[in-house]
């Protein structure tokens, strides 16, 4: 078997300047449209055109692992469960498989939890370099009082979260109240301080792809470091058409301002083959720089298990039972 690499899967990264945002440009928003049939044709062509096999597939799957926000957002979360998740994030693939692949180290991109679990996660990840992301701002509905949403962000940052996944008020998008959405996200960004802001659009509840495109731009104008599809709690979460719309909004924003904003599809991505399609879409639309974890993440809990099974198949030629891989 060809050795994939002899070093870590993390490539050297040049630290990027944070997106400072810009003034709300209503004229730009009004010009934005979304051709649904053309978008669907584009994403339908991806699986066939961007197929990767053998060593190349294994390398792409290792890259996918480095971009996973390993997540637990359950009402019965405990510190012990979070510590176990953090251990999995620090060593997401069995050591014997990494050795067989010729890879020294791979880690998940981050661990994502509710506010109450931030401190246990930070303690468990100390020394690993893996950031902790906290869902905040009234997650998942975003309907708690605004002052409480701001306070929640501040408390999570104080507890050690270096990334904050906020939810927007969907009503602002559905009513076309772009100024209200801009002001809201801008206030959330200020409350984050040095922590990076990931704005969750809940795209399954926004009504149209045009609304998704416009909401994406408003969040970036307000200073979001990432835009994210879903909370994982909606009836419809990450999809390829929505992803294409959001990615092209990121590209348009980068062309206009020169600042790079990250992208995070979340909810419903549980198979390794799906992760490969999302990576191919990012490479096609935004280029290799957006395949690094500072600009791309998967919001997932079960995806890692399937990737590890695929890697074992690559090494041994056999699919393993699920119990051979500790669940994230």
- The first and second tokens of residue 324, run together, are 């051979």
Q: Which residues lie below 8 Å from residue 324, measured CB to CB, with a gap of 6+?
A: 312
* Of residues 295, 200, 218, 252, the one with CA closest to residue 22: 218
- Could you give phi then psi for residue 200, rounded to 5 degrees? -90, 120
CA distance 7 to 229: 32
* Cβ contact 124:82 at 8 Å: yes
CB atoms within 10 A of CB 261: 25
Please identify which of the residues 69, 225, 264, 294 carries the catalytic annotation.
264
DSSP code of 319? P
Q: 215-218: list long-range contacts, CB under 8 Å, 24+ apart.
A: 215/168, 215/173, 215/181, 216/245, 216/246, 216/249, 216/250, 217/28, 217/29, 217/32, 217/249, 217/252, 217/253, 218/24, 218/29, 218/178, 218/181, 218/182, 218/185
- The first and second tokens of residue 3, run together, are 């050795």
- The first and second tokens of residue 44, run together, are 């339908």
* Cβ contact 161:133 at 8 Å: yes
* Cβ contact 111:105 at 8 Å: no
Active site residue 228: yes
Please identify which of the residues 165, 225, 274, 294 carries the catalytic annotation.
165
Please identify which of the residues 69, 198, 225, 228 carries the catalytic annotation.
228
User: 234: helix, coil or strand?
Assistant: coil
Active site residue 264: yes
Active site residue 271: no
Enzyme catalytic residues: 165, 228, 264
């Amino acid at each position: 078997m060809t050795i994939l690499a002899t070093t870590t899967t993390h490539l050297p990264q040049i630290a990027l300047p944070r997106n400072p945002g810009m003034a709300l440009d209503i004229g730009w928003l009004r010009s934005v449209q979304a051709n649904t049939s053309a978008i669907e044709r584009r994403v339908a062509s991806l699986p066939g055109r961007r197929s990767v096999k053998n060593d190349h597939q294994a390398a792409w799957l290792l890259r996918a692992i480095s971009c996973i926000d390993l997540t637990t957002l359950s009402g019965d979360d405990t510190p012990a469960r979070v510590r176990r998740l953090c251990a999995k994030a620090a060593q997401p693939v069995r050591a014997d498989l990494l050795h067989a692949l010729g890879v020294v180290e791979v880690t998940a991109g981050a661990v994502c939890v509710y506010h109450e679990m931030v401190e246990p996660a930070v303690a468990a990840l100390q020394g690993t370099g893996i950031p902790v992301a906290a869902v905040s701002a009234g997650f998942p509905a975003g309907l708690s009082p605004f002052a409480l949403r701001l306070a929640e962000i501040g408390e999570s940052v104080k507890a050690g979260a270096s990334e904050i996944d906020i939810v927007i008020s969907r009503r602002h998008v559905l009513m076309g109240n772009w100024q209200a959405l801009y002001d809201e996200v801008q206030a959330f960004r200020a409350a984050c301080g040095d922590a990076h802001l990931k704005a969750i659009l809940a795209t399954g509840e926004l009504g149209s792809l045009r609304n998704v495109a416009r909401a994406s731009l408003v969040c970036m104008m307000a200073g979001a470091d990432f835009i994210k599809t879903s909370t994982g709690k909606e009836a419809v979460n990450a999809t390829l058409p929505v992803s294409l719309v959001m990615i092209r909004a990121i590209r348009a924003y980068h062309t206009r301002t020169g600042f790079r904003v990250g992208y995070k599809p979340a909810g419903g991505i549980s198979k390794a083959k799906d992760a490969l399609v999302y990576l191919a879409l990012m490479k096609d639309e935004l280029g290799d720089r957006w395949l690094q974890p500072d600009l791309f993440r998967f919001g997932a809990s079960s995806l890692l298990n399937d990737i590890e099974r695929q890697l074992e198949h690559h090494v041994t030629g056999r699919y393993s039972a699920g119990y051979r891989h500790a669940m994230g």
